Amino acid sequence: MKILWNFVRGFTATGRVAKMVLFLYIINLLFSLLLVIPMYNSLKNSLGQSEVGSRMAEGFDYIWWEEFRDDAKGLETTFSPSIIGKGAILNNLESLIQMRFFFIPPLLMVFGLFYIIFRVFLAGGILSTFNQDIPRFTLREFAQGAGTHFFHFLALMLLSWGLIMAIGAFFLDSINSIINDIAAKSTSEVTPFILMFALSALTFAFLLFVQMVFDYARIKIVLEESRNIFKSTLEALGFVFKHPFSTFGLFYLIYLIQAAVTVAYILLKEIIPQSNFPLVLAAFFIQQLFIFAVIWIRCLLYSSQMALYRYMK
């Protein structure tokens, strides 16, 4: 009951600040254009007016891609069949689980780091907005809240990254080594696959757990004006374990919603043939609607967690 009650409170609070969600979506779109435009120009120069462009509209042309890949530099090296359709989501998820953070082009890594830091800045504005008795969005108050909490949130991010990388480096290398040994000796691919799937699920669950704990650490900083990130993190961890059913239940309820939205997006996108401009435009609209929904769900998570923390305190 506590889970549903605070979910509804978070849902209502997020609905009151739809302008903030739209503002965050526009920022995300502008950041995306910084990468999309150079990639578009590279693909346009490579495809030109040739028949390859028509074949690419109907299905991926692997012969052209192999030639493009050989000459690709920087951002162009990230273009592959795996970034099209559902492959993009699955590819990003695999990279997250395997913690392949440093195997991307330097330019993309710098851009991604800047984007993550900017998201940390935005998180302060989001939580400050939900900290109001009746949430309302104004750009001035949003920016003020973002600036107030930026350095503490940045320190929390670095702390969480250090924790994830330390544990990941210790466990992933050892477990991957064990799985590789088993795969080399196994007469079937089933056992290594099951072990790798179990490892991936365990790693993903751990990453979600770390995110949840640090979400509550950020909430503590905003609500209680705490300035000690280590104390806030330990108290957030204590809060999660003191109320495991409510904290885990609320967190995974919202992530279940996001998973359902993602699956719906993948299925809908796959059934739309992108063979002409109107259909391409429809696919683009669905994609942007999905991104807007993901941002909205993230705000819903923050508002619901804040409502739960206040309720339990």
Closest CA to 82 of 93, 92, 74, 91: 91
Distance of CA 65 to the CA centre of its chain: 28
From first CA to last CA, the distance across the chain in angstroms is 17
Rounded-to-integer distance, Cα 78 and Cα 83, Å: 8
Query: How much is the pLDDT for 153?
Result: 95
Q: At what angle do helices 190-224 and 244-270 cross, to 10 degrees?
A: 120
Query: How much is the pLDDT for 50?
Result: 59
Closest CA to 308 of 209, 241, 229, 239: 239
Q: CB–CB of 50/71 below 8 Å?
A: no
Given the structure tokens 């993602």, which residue do they identify? 262
Integer CA distances (angstroms), 86 to 33, 54, 259, 271, in order? 20, 21, 13, 12
Query: How much is the pLDDT for 294?
Result: 92
Q: At what angle do helices 106-130 and 139-185 cross, to 10 degrees?
A: 130
Query: pLDDT tens digits, the chain, 313 residues: what are they?
Result: 789 999 999 999 999 999 999 999 999 888 877 776 666 666 566 565 556 555 555 555 555 555 556 565 655 555 555 555 544 544 554 454 445 555 566 666 777 788 889 999 999 999 999 999 899 999 999 999 999 999 999 999 999 988 877 776 666 666 666 666 666 666 666 666 666 667 767 777 888 899 999 999 999 999 998 889 999 999 999 999 999 999 999 999 999 999 899 888 888 877 776 666 677 788 788 888 999 999 999 999 999 999 999 998 7
- Asked whether the whole model's pTM tops 0.85, one would answer no
Rounded-to-integer distance, Cα 266 and Cα 273, Å: 13
Query: How much is the pLDDT for 62?
Result: 56
Query: How much is the pLDDT for 174?
Result: 63
Query: How much is the pLDDT for 110?
Result: 75
What is the Cα gyration radius of the chain?
22
**According to DSSP H, which parts of 186-276 are helical?**
190-224, 229-242, 244-270
Integer CA distances (angstroms), 281 to 5, 274, 286, in order? 39, 9, 9
**According to DSSP H, which parts of the chain are helical?**
2-16, 18-47, 51-58, 62-71, 86-97, 106-130, 139-185, 190-224, 229-242, 244-270, 277-312
Q: Where are the chain's structural domains?
A: 2-45+73-312
